Amino acid sequence: MNTKAHSVHEQRPETFTTQTPAVQVKQAELVKFIGLKNQITKLTEEKDVLETELKNLLTSGASVEEGTHIAKAELASRTHVAWREEFENLADKLRGKGEGAKLAERVLENTEPTTYVKLTVK
């Protein structure tokens, strides 16, 4: 039996040097960064709202004005299979080689696909 005491080492997050740097990050740079980040958030929200509006218009039968750009909305569907490889490997271990693929196929056959509207604007 080993009665030797074990020392416990505390894990500390990695920190950067505390020496005074020769260069400083300017407040103006931080203000610019925050401003750009806020603009991106606002523009992303505006884009998402407009995308929803365009999808709704196109799926309800609206036409697109003639010009340089085209837009179309298509109904698409997919079955999520990101889990498939891991599922097959686990099922092979539990049920035997080759059984994972068979079981995954049965699961996919009984899975309702996710449907969504895909917007294409060129």
The model's pLDDT over 106-115, given as tens digits with 9 standing for 90+, comes to 888 888 888 8
Give the rounded percent of residues in the chain with a pLDDT score beyond 90.
Answer: 47
Top-confidence residue, 102 or 50 = 50
What percentage of the chain carries pLDDT values higher than 70? Answer: 83
Inform me whether the pLDDT recorded for 43 exceeds 80. Answer: yes
Could you tell me which residues come within 8 angstroms of residue 122 by beta carbon, excluding any fewer than 6 positions away? Answer: 69, 70, 71
Q: Which residues contact 100 (CB under 8 A, 6 or more apart)?
A: 87, 88, 89, 90, 91, 92
Q: What pLDDT was estimated at residue 12?
A: 62
Q: How confident is the model at residue 105 (pLDDT cuts 50, 70, 90)?
A: confident
**CA–CA separation, 33 vs 74, rounded Å?**
37
Of residues 103 and 33, more confidently modeled: 33
State the average pLDDT for the chain.
85
Q: What is the mean pLDDT of residues 98-110?
A: 84
pLDDT at res. 53: 97
